[in-house]
Structure formats: C-alpha cells, structure tokens
Amino acid sequence: MIDAPSSTWFTASPHWHVLIVMHFILGALAGGTYFLSAIIDLTGHDRRLARLGYYITLPLMAVIGIVLIVDLSRPDRFWHLLVENHTLQPIFKWWVPMSTGAWSVLLLGVFAVLSFLAAFAEHHRPQWRLARRLRPPGALGAFVAVPGALVALHVTGYTGVMLSVLNRPIWSDTPLFGLLFIVSAVAMAAALLSLAARGLRWQSPSVPALQRIWVWLLAAQVLVWAALFITLGPAASGWLNVWGAVLAIGIAIGTVLPLLAAFWRTGWGLGSGPAAAALVLAGGAIVRTAIVFVPEAIAP
Amino acid sequence: MAEPMGFFTDPTVCIGCKACEVACKQWNQLPALDDERRTMSGDSYDNTRKLDGTHWRHVKFVEQFDEDRRDGRWTMLSDVCKHCVRAGCLEVCPTGAIIRTEFDTVVIQSDACNGCKACLAACPFGVIDINPVSNTAQKCTLCYDRLQAGMEPACSQACPTDSITFGPVRELKERAGRRVVQLHAAGEHRAALYGADDKMLGGLNAFFLLVDKPEVYGLPPDPKMPSRQLVPGTLLTMLGALVVGLVSLLSFRDRRAGEAHRPDGDRS
C-alpha cells in the first residue's frame, strides 16, 4: 500500500463475479450481432444472414436481462434503475454509465423484439404485413434499424466506460476500455455470425465481408491494447498476477493467432475459417474475464 | 441548508478503545456478525479489519517498530466515511439512493438502493460495502437521524478522549489548525491535516490529523473522483463506434460492388 502505483489501489471491491463476466460477453455478442444485422439489412441484400442475427440477438437479450437482475443484491428492486422509487418518475443520469446502460439494454430489448418479429414474419408469416415492414428497406424498417444499431453499439461499449469510472485498479487507470470493448464486441459478433452461417452450411456472400470486418477490427485491437498499456503507466504493474497471464492467453488466441493466420496466409483454413472465428470468440470472452477479475487480485 | 457538519479525528489522542465502533453498532443496530470470519486477523489488535456494510467505524492499529522492537509507537486511527464534498459514491449511484443531506453529509437511502454495487468501487476510500442483513449498500450516515433530532453522532459522543470531535466543519477546521500548531511546537513536525482543505475532493467533511504519510493509515495520498475518466472514455468509445461503423459499411459496400457483377445467389 505504501508503494501503490495509483490511488485506485485504495478502493474496495464491488464483488462482481461470474454474472458480470456473462453480461459483458453476452452484451458484446448481442449488441454486436444486432449492429451487424442492421448494417447488413440497411446496406446489403443478404436478408437471410441478417435474419439469423436477429434470431441470435433476442434470446441473448433475454438472458442478459435475467443475469443483470439476478446479479443485484436486491433483485426485487431492479426497476429502481429505470424508475425513481420515491416519485415513480423515470430516472436517467446521462453521466452514469450504469444508468445509460440500463436504458440501452431495455431499448435494445425492444428493438430486438421488433426485428425478431419482422424476421419471423418474413420467414414464416408473410401475412403479417405490418411486422414485415419493421425491417429495411422502407422507412419504418429504417426507423427501427438505424436507432437500434446505435443503441446496440452503446450496449457493447458502455460496459467499458462503466469500468473506467469505477475507480478500481486498472479499470479506472485508463479511459480506453470502452473503445476496446466496442471494437472487440463487433469483431466477436462478426465471428459468431460467420460461424453460425457456416454451421448452417450457408454459402452466404456476406460471410467474407464478416471475416474482413473481424480481421480489421482485430488489427485495431492491437493498437488499442498498445495504447491501453501506455496509458496505464505504473498501474500496468497491476497485471502482474494470474489474471495478467489469463489476459495474455486471451490476447494471444483471440487476437494474435487469427491475425497472423489471416495476414501471413500460413493457413487460410484458420485465417478465414471456423477455427479462427472460434478463436476470436474465445479470446474475447477470456479477455473480458481477465479484465473483470484483475482488480480482485490486487491486494488492498 | 444547515451549516455543514462533520468529524475531526485526531489519532494522537486515540487510545484504541473501540468505544466508537461499539456505539456506532449499538445506535445503528448493526449486527455483530463479521461476515464469515471466525478467526483473529493477526494484525495487531484490529479484528474489525476494514470498513464495510456492518462496520461504519473502524479503529485502525498502526504498529511502527524497529527491527529489534526497542523503539517504536502505536498509532490508532478511527476511520469512517469522509462525507466528501464531491462524493464519488453519490456521483455514480444510478438509482438516486445516495443523497446529500441538509448537513452536507452523504447518506444512502436503504429503501431505494438495489445493491448494484457501483458505489462500492467508486468510493476513493473503499468505505462502502453491502450489508448482508439488508442486502443494500451501507456506510456511516453521520447519524443523520440523531442530527435531525439535534443530537451528536453516537461515535463522537462515546469517544472518551475526544479523538473524534463532531461539530460545524468550519469550527472543526479552526480547532484542527490549532492542534497542528500545538503538535509542531511539541516536536511532532510530521503532523498535518488530511482532507481539511478543498483540494481533496472539494474537502472532506470528516477529516483527519495524521502524523505520518496517508498510506501508512491506509488512506490514498491523492484520492480521485471516479468521473475523471467519463469524458475521455466516452469520446474514445465514440471514436470506436465510428471505426466499427466505417469498417462494417466499407466491408459490406465492397461485397455489394462484387455482387453487382454476379447473378442473384442464395438470398432469401
């Protein structure tokens, strides 16, 4: 404590454990998948892949809602995040990431339901005309997809900003976790969608585009990681524990290996195939786990 | 608004009796349970260990002895929530459960708290924790209920040596300044006030006199507001959104350009 590299070393644990890790991983996948599906819908014509994305997003959002509620010490009061219990007025604090995040998760849930309905109607219930119009092309579809995509991006990134304003070692010693999470989330979602398409044996023309997306975003992550360690300064010593090793493994298998395979073409089967996509997903999950737990390993 | 009220804690006269801890627990009906701990801490006579949801006062025992233990001293410091003028916990609370009172103190309303635990991490001093009985975040209220009735907080009233002094913050600062001068005159040149001026989080309404570096007492030398990363973090995240948006749009635009030369494939 005498030689603590940062004032954050004197703070206490929020006791965040597995459920928060789940939220970070599932939130990244749900937000990223919805964002990519909306982009596919708005720019392309591969409606089948976008539909698959919407089908993935909704159940993930349902699980996230349950996880977030169960993680509270008083789950019966989850609604206090949205409604002030004394006045019953909506409560929204733009300067509190947990508050903006709660609203974003709710809103993305609504957008996910609308897009799911539209995708389902198009696929199975063509007579549901209004529901089908909730997907682009068309003004109503764009009215759902554009704000939905923006909210989805917020869901992927707010968790990182939240860490940066929680005063814990490592978390609050750099402002870069939001940037890292948003880039990593969309890379993971692109990997998930391409994996799902391959799993269904689809020859979707959008899959190569998804692979390009995660390769470029992994390259961006390398830059973000470098900047993150530079901004941590002396606080980077907080990684000198088991979670630093876990982080290194996560970066190696989730960022470095797929990038090497993609750029050096030493194994296109890995660089562009399901193995690389699986590595991106696993790496993203491992990195988030290490980030959530690392302050716990730093002695108060 | 009433005049800001607070504590001045002077460890040079603390005898480590822990009457403050007991009085606090008694008045606030805090359980005697100590989480799941059944063992002694091994850390001097301190088995309270830290401030948390059921320990709103904590007498720290600081042993400073030579290797051969022929020379040394014990310093006791009764730690407590600092009731910061710029309070990190209040800033990050998403439910509005944490309020500033008419006495300029910071109080957690237990009926509004849903146990999200954001305030636990945001407090620069690590003061707050979940009370396992109520399952809400809790900490010292500076005996808000007693203040409203014109009474003194239980801990300071119980303190037999006036190591904990309660009163208007302005008067406490004058008293603390005089005590520092007195200690300097007595040869204790390390005596200094911690949190008495507004440079530290706008000022601490519960401030301390220290006779060593703050870290020796487990206090941060430069406590910071959690919000310091909000603006840069948000701007950088927006930059990230721009990057992923551009990468995604360009990737799918490339695909469309390629498709323009291809017959309709497997679109549904």
Q: Mean pLDDT in chain B?
A: 91
For residue B19, give how far its alpha carbon lies from the nearest alpha carbon of chain A (Å). 25
Interface ipTM? 0.94
Please say if the pLDDT value at position A168 is more than 70.
yes
For residue A46, give how far its alpha carbon lies from the nearest alpha carbon of chain B (Å). 5
Between residues B131 and A1, the one the model is more confident about: B131
Contact A262, A271 (CB under 8 A): yes
Which site among A7, A10, A47 would you substitute to test the B interface, given the most B Cβ atoms closer than 10 Å to its Cβ? A10
User: In this complex, is the C-beta atom of A16 within 8 Å of any C-beta atom belonging to chain B?
Assistant: yes
Q: Quick check: B126 and A10 CB within 8 A?
A: yes
Counting Cα atoms < 13 Å in the Cβ hemisphere of B113 gives 28
**pLDDT tens, position by position, A77-90:** 999 999 999 999 99
**pLDDT tens, position by position, B48-105:** 889 999 999 999 999 888 888 888 888 899 999 999 999 999 999 999 999 999 999 9
User: In this complex, is the C-beta atom of A106 within 8 Å of any C-beta atom belonging to chain B?
Assistant: no
Q: Quick check: B218 and A102 CB within 8 A?
A: no
**pLDDT tens, position by position, A188-234:** 999 999 999 988 888 787 888 898 899 999 999 999 999 999 999 99
What is the predicted pLDDT for the residue at B267? 42
> In whole angstroms, what is the distance from residue B268 CA to residue A120 CA?
13
Of B220, B244, B252, the CB nearest to A43: B252
Q: Quick check: B266 and A7 CB within 8 A?
A: no
Q: Quick check: B251 and A186 CB within 8 A?
A: no
CA Rg, chain B, in Å? 25
Please say if the pLDDT value at position B264 is more than 60.
no
Query: Distances from the Cα of A49 to the Cαs of A26, A200, B147, in angstroms?
Result: 19, 11, 63
Sorted by sequence, the CB contacts under 8 Å of residue A136 that are 6+ apart come out as A41, A42, A142, A145
Q: Considering only alpha carbons, which residue of chain A is nearest residue B238? A: A179
Chain B residue numbers with beta carbons less than 8 Å from the beta carbon of A158 are 237
What is the identity of the amino acid at A160?
Answer: G
Which site among A43, A104, A106, A165 would you substitute to test the B interface, given the most B Cβ atoms closer than 10 Å to its Cβ? A165
**pLDDT tens, position by position, A111-137:** 999 999 999 998 888 888 888 888 988
Q: Considering only alpha carbons, which residue of chain A is nearest residue B233? A: A175
Q: Quick check: B113 and A74 CB within 8 A?
A: yes
Contact B220, B22 (CB under 8 A): no
Chain A residues 159-178 with a CB less than 8 Å from chain B: 160-162, 164-168, 171-172, 174-178
> In whole angstroms, what is the distance from residue B44 CA to residue B41 CA?
8
Exposure of A239 by Cβ count < 10 A (0-12 exposed, 13-18 middle, 19+ buried)?
A: buried
Chain B residue numbers with beta carbons less than 8 Å from the beta carbon of A4 are 215, 220
> In whole angstroms, what is the distance from residue B169 CA to residue A124 CA?
70
Chain A residue numbers with beta carbons less than 8 Å from the beta carbon of B223 are 7, 10
The vertex-A209 CA angle with A195 and A205, nearest 5°, equals 80
CA A93 to chain centre: 22
- Whether the link from the prior residue into A234 is cis, omega within 30° of 0, is no
**What is the pTM for the complete model shown?**
0.93
User: In this complex, is the C-beta atom of A182 within 8 Å of any C-beta atom belonging to chain B?
Assistant: yes
What is the identity of the amino acid at B116?
Answer: C
User: In this complex, is the C-beta atom of B113 within 8 Å of any C-beta atom belonging to chain A?
Assistant: yes
**pLDDT tens, position by position, B191-202:** 999 999 999 999
What is the predicted pLDDT for the residue at B35? 61
Q: Sorting pLDDT into bands at 50, 70 and 90, what band is B247?
A: very high
**pLDDT tens, position by position, B118-143:** 999 999 999 999 999 999 999 999 99
Contact A39, A209 (CB under 8 A): no
Q: Considering only alpha carbons, which residue of chain B is nearest residue A168? A: B121
What is the predicted pLDDT for the residue at A272? 61
Query: Distances from the Cα of A213 to the Cαs of A42, A152, A182, A206, B263, in angstroms?
Result: 16, 17, 13, 11, 24
Structure tokens at B190: 């390390």
For residue B186, give how far its alpha carbon lies from the nearest alpha carbon of chain A (Å). 27
User: In this complex, is the C-beta atom of B252 within 8 Å of any C-beta atom belonging to chain A?
Assistant: yes
Exposure of B257 by Cβ count < 10 A (0-12 exposed, 13-18 middle, 19+ buried)?
A: exposed
What is the predicted pLDDT for the residue at B66? 87
Q: Quick check: B121 and A77 CB within 8 A?
A: no
What is the predicted pLDDT for the residue at B260? 47
Chain B residue numbers with beta carbons less than 8 Å from the beta carbon of A300 are 50, 126
- What is the share, in percent, of chain A residues with pLDDT greater than 70? 95
CA B260 to chain centre: 62
Contact A23, A67 (CB under 8 A): yes
What is the DSSP code string of B212-254? S-GGGGT--SS---GGGGHHHHHHHHHHHHHHHHHHHHHHHHH
Residue contacts between A and B (CB atoms, under 8 Å): 239
Query: Distances from the Cα of B182 to the Cαs of A6, A114, A240, B12, B167, in angstroms?
Result: 33, 72, 45, 12, 20
For residue B235, give how far its alpha carbon lies from the nearest alpha carbon of chain A (Å). 9
Chain B residues 136-175 with a CB less than 8 Å from chain A: 136-137
What is the identity of the amino acid at A164?
Answer: S
